[in-house]
Amino acid sequence: MRRRREKITDPITVTHPGKVKFWNYDLNDGRRPEDFHYGDDAVVAWVCPINPMHRWKQAVSNFLKRQTDCMYCARKPVRESLRLSTKYPELAREWHPTLNDHRSPDTILARDRRSAYWDVRGE
Ligand SMILES: [Zn+2]
């Protein structure tokens, strides 16, 4: 049998250094990535290093197995002709810049049925 270089008891900071940047230090009650190894089923909080609005909870073992890192960033972009910003540019200008989580007129469909916040102070 081939010997693995990493032992299962090694912390994820050793076995998966690339994933450690997703650790959410604010929401894990002081727990740190070096306290976990890659077989751990404990559900912890993660945050996207690119966009801090991308947050989720997932078992350590599942996240480390996953090919993609941030599930929000990995989403396919909405085709330009179907975007809210393309179909209704006037409306898109009133999109609230901070209250809509990670959504923006460039990332949602014009026919999106979810509610959204609008900024109409310019009226
Ligand atoms: Zn992301």
Domain identity same for 17 and 59 = yes
Same domain, 109 and 58: no
Residue 23 buriedness (CB in 10 A; 0-12 / 13-18 / 19+): buried
Could you tell me if residue 65 is inside a domain? yes
Residue 47 within a domain: yes
Instruction: Give residue 122's identity as a one-letter amino acid code.
Output: G
Helix, strand, coil percent values for the chain (each to nearest 5) = 25, 15, 60
Q: How far is the CA of 2 from the centre of ligand 1 (A)?
A: 36
Residue 56 alpha carbon to ligand 1 centre in Å: 10
Compute, in angstroms, the gap from residue 49 CA to the centroid of ligand 1.
7
**pLDDT of 122 strictly over 60:** no
- If you average pLDDT over residues 76-87, what whole number do you get? 85
What is the tens place of the pLDDT at every residue in 31-74? 999 999 989 999 999 999 988 888 999 999 999 988 778 888 87
Q: Does 3 map to a domain?
A: no
Q: Which amino acid appears at position 118 of this protein? A: W
Residues 39 and 88 in one domain: no
Cβ atoms of residues 54 and 70 within 8 Å: yes
Determine the distance separating the centroid of ligand 1 and the alpha carbon of 35, expressed in angstroms.
24
| Distance in angstroms (rounded) separating the CA atoms of residues 31 and 12 | 13
Return the closest-CA partner of residue 62 out of 74, 73, 46.
Answer: 46
Q: Is residue 6 part of a domain?
A: no
Query: pTM for this one?
Result: 0.59
Task: State residue 4's pLDDT score.
Answer: 57
More confident residue, 46 or 106: 46
Domain range for 61 is 12-73
